[in-house]
Amino acid sequence: MATLDRKRYLDANEAAHLLQFARGSVARESERDYVALSVTLNGALRLREVRALNTTDLKRDETGAPILDVWFSKGKASRRVRITEEMAELLEDWIRKQRRRLGGADGPMFTVFYRGLERRIARRSLEHVFKRIARRAGLPGCYSFHSLRHTYGVYYYRSTRDILALREQLGHARVSTTQIYTSIDGATARENLRSLPAALKPPGRYRRARGNGMGGNGEERRRASGSPL
Q: Report the C-alpha gap between 184 and 186 in whole angstroms.
A: 7
DSSP bridge pairs for 82: 67
Q: Collapse the DSSP code of 201 into the 3-class scheme (helix H, G, I; strand E, B; otherwise coil) and give the result.
A: coil
At 4 the pLDDT is 82
Asked about 201 being catalytic, the answer comes back as no
**pLDDT band with cut points at 50, 70 and 90 for residue 210:** confident
Please identify which of the residues 59, 74, 128, 190 carries the catalytic annotation.
74
Superfamily for the 6-188 domain: Intergrase catalytic core (1.10.443.10)
pTM for the full model? 0.78
| Residue 223 confidence (pLDDT) above 70 | no
**pLDDT band with cut points at 50, 70 and 90 for residue 25:** confident
Report in angstroms the alpha-carbon separations of 141 from 138, 204, 213, 215: 9, 47, 66, 63
Q: Where are the beta strands (DSSP E) in 72-193?
A: 78-82, 111-114, 117-120
At 129 the pLDDT is 95
Q: What average pLDDT does range 62-82 have in this prediction? A: 82
Q: For the chain, what are the domain ranges?
A: 6-188
Asked about 155 being catalytic, the answer comes back as no
DSSP bridge pairs for 161: none
Report in angstroms the alpha-carbon separations of 34 from 30, 59, 77, 88, 90: 6, 21, 27, 14, 10
Q: Report the C-alpha gap between 100 and 52 in whole angstroms.
A: 19
Task: Transcribe 57-87 into DSSP letters.
Answer: -EEE-TTS-EEEEEES-TTSSEEEEE--HHH
Q: What average pLDDT does range 30-36 have in this prediction? A: 95
Residue closest to 151 by CA, chosen among 1, 6, 31: 6
At 120 the pLDDT is 96
| Residue 228 confidence (pLDDT) above 90 | no
pLDDT > 70: percent of the chain = 84
The model's pLDDT over 97-116, given as tens digits with 9 standing for 90+, comes to 999 999 999 999 999 998 88
Q: What average pLDDT does range 29-43 have in this prediction? A: 95
Asked about 59 being catalytic, the answer comes back as no
Element (H, E) at 156: helix 147-160
Lowest pLDDT segment from 16-20, 42-46, 173-177:
173-177
Please identify which of the residues 32, 79, 149, 150 carries the catalytic annotation.
149
Please identify which of the residues 51, 79, 150, 172 carries the catalytic annotation.
172
The Cβ of residue 79 has, within 10 Å, a number of other Cβ atoms equal to 19
Asked about 181 being catalytic, the answer comes back as yes
Please identify which of the residues 9, 32, 34, 46 carries the catalytic annotation.
46
Please identify which of the residues 23, 80, 82, 146 carries the catalytic annotation.
146
| Residue 91 confidence (pLDDT) above 60 | yes
How far the first Cα of the chain sits from its last, in Å, is: 56
